Structures are given as C-alpha cells and as structure tokens.
C-alpha cells in the first residue's frame, strides 16, 4: 500500500518536471542567436584563457622551445630563486610600484571628478562635444600616441616651443631622454588617453541616482557642489569601490604597451618595469621558464592584493566583489 501510495504521489511531479524542461527549451530556442553569441564568448575564453594555463608548469621546468613541455626536466623553484636574487629586481619593483601608485592616486579620482562635472553641464550639445573630444584618444593605439608624444616632446617639439615662448625654460629639453621626466610623462599621457573613456561607467552610475534625491536636496537649499557631495557621490559609492578594488589588484600592471613605445636606452633606469622585464627575458633572451616564473609571482601577488582589498572594502563599507 505504501509503495502504491508513493508511486501515486510521484506521478504529478513528472509532468511538472517535463513542463519545466519544455519551458526551458522554448526559452533557449527563442534566444538561440543570443545563446550562440554567448557560447562563442565562452569558447574563446576557454581556448585563450584556460587551456594555455597548462603552460604554467614550465615555470618549474627548464623549457626549451624546440622540445615539448612534457620532455623538459623539472628544476623546482630554481627560477623563482633566480628572480629574487637578480640585481635588477629592486629597480624593476621600484619603477613598477612607483608608476602604478602615482596612476592610482592621481589617475583614479580624475575620471570621477570629470564625470561629476560633466554631468552638471546643462547644454546637451556642449556635453556631447566634451565627451567626444575626451573619448577620442582612447581609440588610438599606443603605437600612434607614442609617435605623437615623441614628436611633441622632442628638442624641436611643440612642448619646448611653448615653454620657451612663455620663458619657462631657456633651452630645449629632450624629455624622453631624461629619466627624471619619464614617470610624469607616463602618468600624464595615460590620463590624457583614458580620462574620458574611464568616466563612462561613472556617468552610467550617476544616471541611476534617483532624481527625487536631487529634488529633495534642492528643496533643502543644497547647491550644485553640495548635491554632488551628499547625493551623487554616495549614489555611486559602490561603483567606485568595486573599480578601486580592481585597480589595487592591478597595481603591478604598468601598461606594457605604453611603456614599451615610450622607453629607450636613455630612460631605461626609470622605465624598467615588471612587464618589460618579462618581455625582455622571455621573448628577447629566450628564457621562457624564467619569465613564466616571474609572471606567476606577479599573478599571485595580484590575487593576494585583490583578496586584501576586497576584504577591507567589505569591512569598511559593506561593498565587495565577492
């Protein structure tokens, strides 16, 4: 009797499960083009991001490009020890952290301020013009911008002409040949290229702030700056926090493309960063295992920084990535 009763009770569940499957299939079929596009993205990520992770094992081997990875002899932590004993390590770390910290301190708040002030423009035509002008440099590669900067900063470039005309300097300066100017050039050019583009996400977040809050603040007598400080900024705090966490985790990334096109033998003491160091040791000097070990160390440090920043953010304001 119990068996029959259980069978009778299970019968209504089967049609319900079948109905759910049919609804799911219908939904997938109605979104078939979107699903195909999503699957292509997933396939791209698996092929180019996950499958190559097998190559990380060469950091623990003495890999030679003419032989398969499986035949390379194991050397353990030898490459990691060699990196920490390298005499160039202090200079490379100093340049990497120095450039990244300046970009973080100066370059991170500027898009927020730019978005706040751009949002306050009442003229739609002016706002579109400013947005277009600020976005344009983002779509130019660093190869093109590097050539432009090299021309502007040369002895006979426009920067020297302007400064000499204003009597700021008495004789032309070759800025890219002087290591003391390199960090400033890198930070300023990065802000110039990415300021407008980085502000897009903040503008989107600002658009999500309820207009009722602004109206209430206006009724209470708050001006533009007070509304920006007490309404707009708290409204986009979670967005700022998440982007700050990601920026902190990427503090060892110094924008390889930018530095590679701006560096030369004269400013090498200020332009040697981890990404360039890995490129030179790995591809130029064919030390593939060594450069993989350096890249793995960098990735592990980035992971630790991400976890620390995420945990600190969760404790301070309750916002985090995970």
- CATH number for the domain spanning 122: value is 1.10.3720.10
SS3 letters for 25-40?
A: HHHHHHCHHHHHHHHH
Q: What is the pLDDT of residues 46-82, one digit of tens each?
A: 999 899 889 899 999 999 888 888 889 999 999 999 9
SS3 letters for 206-248?
A: HHCCCHHHHHHHHHCCCCHHHHHHHHHHHHCHHHHHHHHHHHH
Q: What is the pTM of this model?
A: 0.82
On whether the CB atoms of residues 288 and 63 are closer than 8 A, the answer is yes
- The total number of structural domains in the chain stands at 2
DSSP conformational letter for 73? P
**177 and 81 together in one domain:** yes
**Cα–Cα distances in angstroms (integers) from residue 47 to residues 53, 59, 70, in the given order:** 10, 21, 20
Q: Is residue 64 part of a domain?
A: no
Take residue 263 and report the two structure tokens written for it.
Answer: 């560096």
Alpha helices of 85-141 — where are they, by DSSP H?
Answer: 89-102, 109-119, 124-135
Q: What is the pLDDT of residue 230?
A: 85
CB atoms within 10 A of CB 245: 24
**165 and 30 together in one domain:** no
Confidence of residue 180 (pLDDT cuts 50, 70, 90): very high
**235 and 293 together in one domain:** yes
Q: What is the pLDDT of residue 7?
A: 46
**181 and 218 together in one domain:** yes
Share of the chain above pLDDT 90, in %: 51
Q: What is the pLDDT of residue 65?
A: 87
CA–CA separation, 123 and 251 (whole Å): 38
Q: What is the pLDDT of residue 14?
A: 58
With tokens 């903040």, the residue in question is 202
Confidence of residue 2 (pLDDT cuts 50, 70, 90): very low
What mean pLDDT comes out for the span 130-141? 91
With tokens 């990415």, the residue in question is 194
Residue 74 pairs with which residues in a beta bridge?
Answer: 61
Mean pLDDT of the chain: 88
Q: Is residue 300 part of a domain?
A: yes
Sign of dihedral through CA atoms 309, 293, 98, 115? negative
Q: What is the pLDDT of residue 199?
A: 92
DSSP conformational letter for 74? B
Q: In this predicted structure, which of 19-23, 41-45, 110-114, 280-284 has the lowest mean pLDDT?
A: 19-23
Residue span of the structural domain in which 149 resides:
77-317
Q: What is the pLDDT of residue 43?
A: 94
Q: Is residue 178 part of a domain?
A: yes
Confidence of residue 319 (pLDDT cuts 50, 70, 90): confident
Confidence of residue 20 (pLDDT cuts 50, 70, 90): confident
Take residue 268 and report the two structure tokens written for it.
Answer: 């090498």
With tokens 């003495």, the residue in question is 62
Q: Is residue 70 part of a domain?
A: no
CA–CA separation, 139 and 11 (whole Å): 61
Return all residues near 74 (Cβ < 8 A) that are at least 6 apart: 60, 61
């Amino acid at each position: 009797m119990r068996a029959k009763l259980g069978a009778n009770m299970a019968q209504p569940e089967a049609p319900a499960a079948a109905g759910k499957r049919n609804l799911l299939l219908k939904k997938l079929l109605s979104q078939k083009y979107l699903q195909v596009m999503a699957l292509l993205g997933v396939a791209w990520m698996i092929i180019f991001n996950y499958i190559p992770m097998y190559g990380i094992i060469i950091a623990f081997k003495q890999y030679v490009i003419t032989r398969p990875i499986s035949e390379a002899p194991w050397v353990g932590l030898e490459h990691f020890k060699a990196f920490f004993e390298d005499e160039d390590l202090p200079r490379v770390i100093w340049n990497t952290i120095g450039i990244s910290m300046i970009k973080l301190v100066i370059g991170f708040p500027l898009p927020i301020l730019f978005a706040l002030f751009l949002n306050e423009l009442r003229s739609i035509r002016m706002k579109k013009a400013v947005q277009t002008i600020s976005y344009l440099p983002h779509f130019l590669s660093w190869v093109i911008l590097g050539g432009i900067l090299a021309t502007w900063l040369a002895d006979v470039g426009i920067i020297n002409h302007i400064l000499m005309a204003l009597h700021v300097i008495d004789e032309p300066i070759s800025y890219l040949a002087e290591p003391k100017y390199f960090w400033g050039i890198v930070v300023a050019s990065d802000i110039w290229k990415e300021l407008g583009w980085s502000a897009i996400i903040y503008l989107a977040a600002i658009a999500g702030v309820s207009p009722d809050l602004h109206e209430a603040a206006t009724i209470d007598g708050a001006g533009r700056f007070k509304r920006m400080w007490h309404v707009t900024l708290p409204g986009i705090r979670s967005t700022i926090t998440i982007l700050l966490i990601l920026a902190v985790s990427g503090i060892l990334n110094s924008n390889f493309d930018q530095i590679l096109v701006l560096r030369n033998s004269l400013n090498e003491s200020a332009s040697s960063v981890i990404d360039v160091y890995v490129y030179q040791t790995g591809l130029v000097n064919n030390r593939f295992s060594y450069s993989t070990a350096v890249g793995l160390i960098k990735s592990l440090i980035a992971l630790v920084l991400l976890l620390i920043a995420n945990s600190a953010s969760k404790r301070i304001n309750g916002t985090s990535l995970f």
